[in-house]
Amino acid sequence: MVLKNVLNVNGPGELKDYTADILDSLVNVNLYQSVKDDEKKLAKVLSIENQTFYDFISTSNKTVIDQEAYDRCVVRVQLIKDNEDVIALFNDAVSTDFELDQVEIYNEQFLSCETKDYKFGLKGYVDRYTVDHDKEEINIIDLKTTGKSISDFEDSIAFYNYWMQAAIYKKLVLNKVSQTAKNYKLTYRFVVIDKYNQVYVFAVSDSTMETWENELKVTLDTAEYHCINNRYDLPYKFLTQTVTL
């Protein structure tokens, strides 16, 4: 964290030239604060290993993770591959190299769109979506990991605003597909793996998605009010009405 903070401020270079920023960052992350001598604090950071790591993160767009995190990811990837429901979902749309292939598959796509009713646009990374022109279907797959149990995922949808993300992703995908595909049946599914490594596919019903889209409109209307009026000192309801206890 310290080295990333220094990089954000200074960019590539020699750590020894950024001692003031290193000390400030150590204070911010509350690291080595029991050491009173600044030189001793810096000695813990100005190592060959840290310089090598700093050079790497300065020139690479890859994210560095520890071995434990990597091993956990490998296990979860295999669990997902071994899940029949997930594999069936992913194999439901298989593209080929045939020039007239009627299935479009997109993975980890960054999408953005303007909004006709607001002064701001929308954007996001969609894990996977497919457009099947033969079946006239659009399928969106959203992969989630959770530190809770599968049985608590509905609570996570509300707590982490996954419902808002889903409604936004639907808008982004529909904005991206061809005009002929905009009236296709659209399905949205969460593929979830929980803290016990249980894997489950949650389908989102049309009525639930409609509710989320209506709630998204309320949220966007609220954001628009703040943008137009440049008021961020209080929540929307306190700015637009008298709240009585």
CATH number at residue 162: 3.90.320.10
**Same domain, yes or no: 51 and 98:** no
Is 46 in the same domain as 100?
no
Q: Which two tokens stand for residue 103?
A: 């299935």
- Together in a domain, 47 and 97: no
Same domain as 186, residue 152: yes
108/191 same-domain check: yes
Q: Which domain holds residue 49?
A: 2-59
The count of structural domains within the chain is 2
The pLDDT value recorded for residue 167 is 98
Question: What pLDDT score does 198 carry?
Answer: 95
The reply to whether 90 and 53 lie within a common domain is no
Statement to judge: residues 54 and 149 lie in one domain: no
Same domain, 131 and 166: yes
73 in a structural domain = no
Q: Are residues 52 and 95 in the same domain?
A: no
> What pLDDT is attached to residue 100?
55
Whole-number pLDDT of residue 104:
92
Query: For position 168, what pLDDT does the model report?
Result: 97
Regions in the chain scoring below 50 on pLDDT: 96
Res 224: pLDDT: 94
